[in-house]
Amino acid sequence: MLGDITVAKDIYLACGYTDMRKSIDGLAALVQESFGMDPFAPTLYLFCGKRRDRIKALLWEKDGFVMLYKRLENGNFKWPRSSEEVRPLSWKEFNWLMDGLEVNQPKAIRPAQKADFC
């Protein structure tokens, strides 16, 4: 199905600024050369420009790339500008981002890690 992002097994967010003039080929090259990742993997890659009011998403389907583009009319995305180049996201964090929230929710209940008793 055209643009069905639910087929993505992983989601990665490109922290910092991305030149939003880049096309599919430019974004795929960025994924491969700068991040050292496989643009042909079933992964959703997210990019944001300086204004933070629009994002591009790149996804490989079985027969080609799909690039999705979203522009907000009001407000902006709470995009992380940390020094990390690429950051994995969970589907919950992705939904927070699309809802205009920070990806790192300080009050969210985090999954517990396994620990030893006693």
Which tokens hold the place of 4?
């069905």
CA 61/CA 41 separation, integer angstroms:
9
What are the respective helix, strand and coil percentages of the chain, to the nearest 5? 20, 25, 55
d(CA 94, CA 65): 20
* Whole-number Å distance between alpha carbons of 28 and 45: 9
pLDDT in tens, the chain (118 residues): 566 888 899 999 999 889 999 999 999 999 999 899 999 999 999 999 889 999 999 999 988 999 999 998 988 888 888 766 888 999 999 998 888 888 877 676 667 778 776 6
pLDDT of residue 3: 67
Global confidence as pTM: 0.84
